[in-house]
Amino acid sequence: MRAVIVRSFGGPEVLAVADVPVPSPGADQVLIRVEAAAVNPVDIATRAGWLAEAGLMAATPPVGAGWDVAGVIDAVGAGVEGFAVGDRVAGLSDRLDLPAKTHAEFVVLDADTVARTDLDPVPAATLPLNVLTAAQALDVLDLAEGATVLVTGAAGGVGGFAVELAKARGLRVVAAAGDGDEELVRGLGAETFVPRSAPLAESVRQAVPGGVDSVLDAAVLGVGALDALRGGGTFVAVIAGAAPPPLRGTRVKNVMVRADGKRLAELIPQVTPRVADTLPLTEVAKAHRRTEKGNLRGRLVLTP
């Protein structure tokens, strides 16, 4: 099969589409024939070597690429219950040091990391990593109905889902995003909009005197977003090492996403997938370049 391999850390040019053996599912695993796999910022961090520098994965490649996947179950391992060959599923590969991951024609995942879905595979592939990150971050915040939450990067992957899920929990959402994103984020459920060109903390505190109860920092703004938080409030960072110091008695947490098929199945109907574009697997380097440029509204999706 074809699979995207990072043979050395660097720019998009280091990505290789290699011929590797089709993996076989072990006990409690499924083999998925990949129909679509999204490209996320974590894929850029893996390829560039930033995760290795942070001590989150092996210091030397080769390593496989890709976290999100949607496709069809091609084989099941011993002990698998609830899934059968031919089922359409979406799932998350949350392990870093694997020789091949979801940017491939086939991938093996633990059965408890996948969810059955009737969605078209392209939009389905944009969901697992970002929607689980958003939901698990909101779990960490653990807010009562009516509490206020500032979501930075509210037009992005994690941020957009966080706005929708927070609204569904009865939270009051202050959304910070690009100047042209107000209609989008209000449509997702934001009560208050702060454009990127405005001073963040001052604008938030004008709308919510004293500051918001919590911050979900999907845009990795750090201290700038912390200043919008009331004393004693809770701040959640979604990238390792991006959490600011807990000033003014605030609680600062990091959420590290974990694959959870049962939770994913519950979340899929609650959010709105957004696809920026689709590209063939062989154009993975182009997908990385476009992702690095930013300003995408939705994810780029690779189709083997």
Indicate the number of domains in the chain.
Answer: 2
Q: Is 32 within the bounds of a domain?
A: yes
Residues 105 and 190 in one domain: no
Helix, coil or strand: residue 152: strand
Residues 28 and 48 in one domain: yes
Residues 28, 75: contact at Cβ < 8 Å? Answer: no
Residues 39 and 109 in one domain: yes
In this structure, which amino acid lies at residue 201?
A: A
Query: What is the four-CA torsion angle of 73, 300, 120, 100, rounded to 10 degrees?
Result: 0
| pLDDT at 294 (0 to 100) | 81
Residues 111 and 136 in one domain: no
Q: Is 265 within the bounds of a domain?
A: no
Residues 25 and 72 in one domain: yes
Q: Is 8 within the bounds of a domain?
A: yes
Percent of the chain with pLDDT over 70: 100
Q: Is 262 within the bounds of a domain?
A: no
Tokens of 267: 């979340």
Residues 146 and 237 in one domain: yes
Question: What is the tens place of the pLDDT at every residue in 29-40?
Answer: 999 999 999 999
Q: Which contiguous run of DSSP H or E holds residue 259?
A: none
Residues 122 and 187 in one domain: no
Question: What is the tens place of the pLDDT at every residue in 61-85?
Answer: 889 999 999 999 999 999 999 999 9
Question: What is the tens place of the pLDDT at every residue in 253-303?
Answer: 999 999 999 999 999 999 999 999 999 999 999 999 999 998 788 999 999
End-to-end Cα separation, the chain, in angstroms: 10
Note the pTM of the prediction, 2 decimals: 0.95
Residues 238, 159: contact at Cβ < 8 Å? Answer: no
Residue with tokens 């074809």: 2
Residues 102 and 201 in one domain: no
* Domain CATH for 58: 3.90.180.10
Scored b (16 or more CB within 10 A) or e, 83-115 reads beeebbbbbbbbebebebbbbbbbbbbbbbbbb
128-141 vs 157-168: helix crossing angle, rounded to 10: 50
Q: Which domain holds residue 100?
A: 2-127+273-303
Q: Is 267 within the bounds of a domain?
A: no
Residues 220 and 121 in one domain: no
In this structure, which amino acid lies at residue 85?
A: V
Residues 21 and 89 in one domain: yes
Residues 14, 289: contact at Cβ < 8 Å? Answer: no
Q: Is 263 within the bounds of a domain?
A: no
Residues 94 and 23 in one domain: yes
Percent of the chain with pLDDT over 90: 90
